[in-house]
Amino acid sequence: MSPERNGLQTRKTSAVNEISENETFNDMLMPSPKLSWILGVLSGAGSVKPNHAISLESKRNPELLTEFSVVGQTLFGKQPHVAPNGIHFFSSRIAQELGDLRNEAWVETIQSRHKWILDNSDFIWKFIEGLFDTRAHLKTKPKYKENTLRFRTNNFTNADFIKNRLLAVGIQKPTIFPDGEQPKETEYTVSVYNIKDLKIIADHIHPK
């Protein structure tokens, strides 16, 4: 084969491989319940760092780290770097695709880049589940037979977004309260205490 033909064949092979890689990448990050969940986790307590590390750290919830690792491998097609209290995936391309999920930016990113979540109740529930795994806890008062589900965040925009997503899936009475437990910080809690609402949530999410 002549050098010219050999070079042409190499370029064709490279182009075919690139198309194949793009198709595989696009398939991995297609809208799905798993991607909805991992976006909820990253929005709640994970990070997509400038050095292109997609990370979740937790000292108290190894089950969540395991699930993040398994789902991340499926979505990203990469093996994670496992640290003592964290899971990290390194990919500039995936980080760019996911977008800015920092605390002050994730609401805008979800609304602009991942709007598909907002148009499907199944995706909304998985996103809420991801937030629950990182940002929520159930407070019980056995003496009064009361249970309250609380999503905590440190700005009103995030709290309002969570409240509106809960309303979108049929939760009737989510309420935003300023968090008085830490007066030096501006924090808000989205609370659900209506028993019917709590039953609906229990039927739809499976916390880690």
Closest-CA residue to 129 (of 117, 119, 140): 117
Query: Residue 28 pLDDT > 60, yes or no?
Result: yes
Quote the CA–CA distance of 145 and 131 in Å, as a whole number. 25
**3-class secondary structure for 7-53?**
HHHHHHHHHHHHHHHHHHHHHHCCCCHHHHHHHHHHHHCCEECCCCE
Give pLDDT tens digits for 68-95.
Answer: 999 999 999 999 999 999 999 999 999 9
Predicted structure pTM score: 0.83
Burial class (CB in 10 A: 0-12, 13-18, 19+), 75: buried
Q: Which residues, other chains included, contact 52 with Cβ-Cβ below 8 Å and sequence gap of 6+?
A: 90, 91, 92, 94, 95, 96
Tell me, rounded to whole angstroms, the distance of Cα 32 from its chain centroid: 12
Model confidence over 153-191: pLDDT tens digits? 989 999 999 999 999 999 999 999 987 655 555 789 999
What would the mean pLDDT of 52-79 be, rounded to a whole number?
94
pLDDT digits (tens, 9 = 90+) for 91-147: 999 999 999 999 999 999 999 999 999 999 999 999 999 999 999 988 766 554 568
Residues 47-56, mean pLDDT to the nearest whole number? 85
Q: State the virtual CA torsion across 127, 133, 134, 138 in degrees, nearest 10.
A: 120
pLDDT value, residue 154: 86
DSSP assigned state of 103? T
